[in-house]
Structure 1
Amino acid sequence: MKIWMILGSKEKLSTGAEMLAAARQIGEDRSACPTFVFPFGDGAQQAKDFAALGADVQIFAPGGKGDDLTPEGALFCLRACMAPGKEDFVLMPDAAMWRAVAPALAFHLEAAFAAGIRALRWEGEELFLGRQTWSGRRLAWLGLRGGPGVFTVAQGAFLPGERGEKSGSITSFAPLIPGGESRFCGEEPGAGVALGLKEARIIVAAGRGVGGPEGLDLLGKLATHLPGSILGGSRPVCDCGWLPYDRQIGETGADVAPELYLACGVSGASQHLVGMGRSGLVVVVNKDPAAPFFRHGDVGIVEDLGAFLPRLLEVLAEEKKK
């Protein structure tokens, strides 16, 4: 069994580690050979970093800038090394580029296709794929007998495993990319995700319960007392313009996994919980004792933020002087 893990030229090592964890679940006890594939080409150092995770690396060098390739070009590269009729599995990030490539590749391989996979398990010879439905309220399971299959994998769904005992091999291939109907015409900044939000050890999350920009100012001051922290928010906070959308956490925002998640004035809607479900210690502060978030927190504090935050900042300032 071959398991291909497709990544872009700008993917982070953490994304590769998560995808390798998913590949190992698929290939458990089945003599699988996980291989990273970079259809856009990549730098030698990053290829070595990914190979150090314990999987082989295949780099396509189409000539020119690798990040200029279109979905058409990526599909052509992948079709050059993958043939129909094999019991292979292909994993890709659940991101815009790969959502365009994955179903077309599945058609070429005569394979099953599933998007946004968050869980995997084998039962005998049947592979079950878990994906969220109803805005994260339910996990739907799809059954697949054997392969082949092409899946997009939700970011943050799989915990990175340990590195392999030895590094994988690195090989390169230079296919001739034919001209297509579409072409890369440049890029411009979008909403994206704020720098450091996904990697933060501590996240101070603001909900509509903070009351407005004044409440956010207090949370910003609180964050300065917590080294390695960053300020994030729920969608209503971003919709109100209190925080930019690149700070949004949840189903339509970032998927995070900090060691400490401090939720202030966040009600706990399922769309928000989807994005922080892998957090370590979760502390919830809300004046409403019936807020759903309390059912998902480790520590719950029922208090008005207008009274709680100023007093907490006083205590932290006093501790800092000691």
Structure 2
Amino acid sequence: MSTHNSGIDSSTWETNPGGFGPGEASEIVGNTNAVSERDRQAHARAESERRAAEDDRERASGVGVSPTLDHELGQRLNEGPLKGIKRNAAAARKVEHRLDEEREELLNLAAGQRDGELLAAAWEAAEAKKAVPSIMVAAQEFDRTAIPTTHPIARHGQFEERMRAHHANANRETVLAAWSDVEQVLGEESTSILDESVRTYRTLVDATGEVDNAAAVIADGRPDVLDAFTIWPTLVERWREVQCVRQWLALVENNGFDPTYPERLIRTDAQMIEREVWRSQFVGQVGVEIAHVDTPEAALQWFADKTIETGAHA
């Protein structure tokens, strides 16, 4: 059917949207574009503010630092003082396997399942002219004692929930029991890092004025400067790992492990706890003096500067 025959004039569709005149249509399009642009800008501002807030939170608790044992130091601890966590996980897997087995076993049970067996035994006895054993009473007893009164899947879920809560509590108890041993490892690691960081920092700063100027290090060429340039990043990473463990320990102590996912920590008030742990490494220093110290590298530089300034590491 043609538009002419239908009585619809499409000649002004491009220039007359919505039945308005050209001037009115232009004003509406312009207003719509303005609204869209305002929405876009508002969204961009909100996203920028969200990212800035995240950055502020991260700086307050150490950029790149989070409560985790997923690093070399964490592996050492998991294989040493915290090896009980692996034992807990192994025990949980065994219990889960047994629960799964019994769930399937119970799902396969049904009322009357022994009827044939009991009738056959009765028939055999009768043929042998012996006393006929119980049939219906034995069958009822089996149905009463063996058939689940709660659906096996629901019961399995209840046991699994309680087992996970027990696993989470066992993990926290394991960490608390090993606390002094973990603290000893952290203390030895921290002392080693801080002592070496001052020497390394001084070597680099005396030679090049900074710690990350590869061109200046190469131009200098001295072996001790080259060694210091290689060692410095490893010290920064080791210090990051120490702070990660310290934050992890604080969350274990304050919150514990999630009873739904026993390998995870409860995150309640995590940001506040992480911030307090990060600041605690700057003993006696507050406010603006450490406001810019928001990375493990900045923390080591701050410590080395303070040590050299006071002559404590001559």
Q: Same fold judged by TM-score > 0.5?
A: no
**Which has the bigger relative contact order, CA under 8 A and spacing at least 6?**
2
TM-score, reference length from structure 1: 0.23
Larger Rg: 2
